[in-house]
Amino acid sequence: MANDVKPRILIVEDDPDLRTILRLQLLSQGWEVVEAVNGAEGFEVVKRDIPDCVILDLMMPVMDGFGFLKRARSLMDLQDVPILILTASEDERNKLKGFQYQADSYMSKPYDLEELTVEVQRLLTTERLV
């Protein structure tokens, strides 16, 4: 990623208020933001235009976050795109399942916006281990 190119972050979240909060925070960092309201829409977005990072909710209608993860990781072009799960679920099994489906990071809601920003920055600058 060239230094003059803004990182593009995809937010896959069904809650419009949370999408707005995330969008404003990410835009304040100078990043581009693309949004999807569920996993199916998010998957269509990544097939058209691969983002630099994905922030993914788990519990959504149409296609949940696990469905998105499974499909995204099945495509070679999306193998190295970092995916951060951001969920209200406190079930440890969901965290384990997320990592089994190759998520790169996991944060629970409610979350600290600064911590989220630092984590996204880390994901953008850290190459995935192959």
**Any domain includes 38:** yes
13 Cβ neighbours under 8 A, 6+ residues apart: 19, 22, 35, 36, 37, 55, 56, 57, 60, 86
**Count of the separate structural domains present in the chain:** 1
Residue 127's pLDDT band, with cuts at 50, 70 and 90, is low
CB burial class (10 A; 0-12, 13-18, 19+) of residue 103?
buried
User: CATH number for the domain including 32?
Assistant: 3.40.50.2300
pTM: 0.90
Instruction: Please name the amino acid found at residue 87.
Output: T
CA 106 to centroid of chain Cα atoms: 10
Residue 90's pLDDT band, with cuts at 50, 70 and 90, is confident
pLDDT single digits (tens) 29-42:
999 999 999 999 99
Structural domain boundaries enclosing 32: 8-124
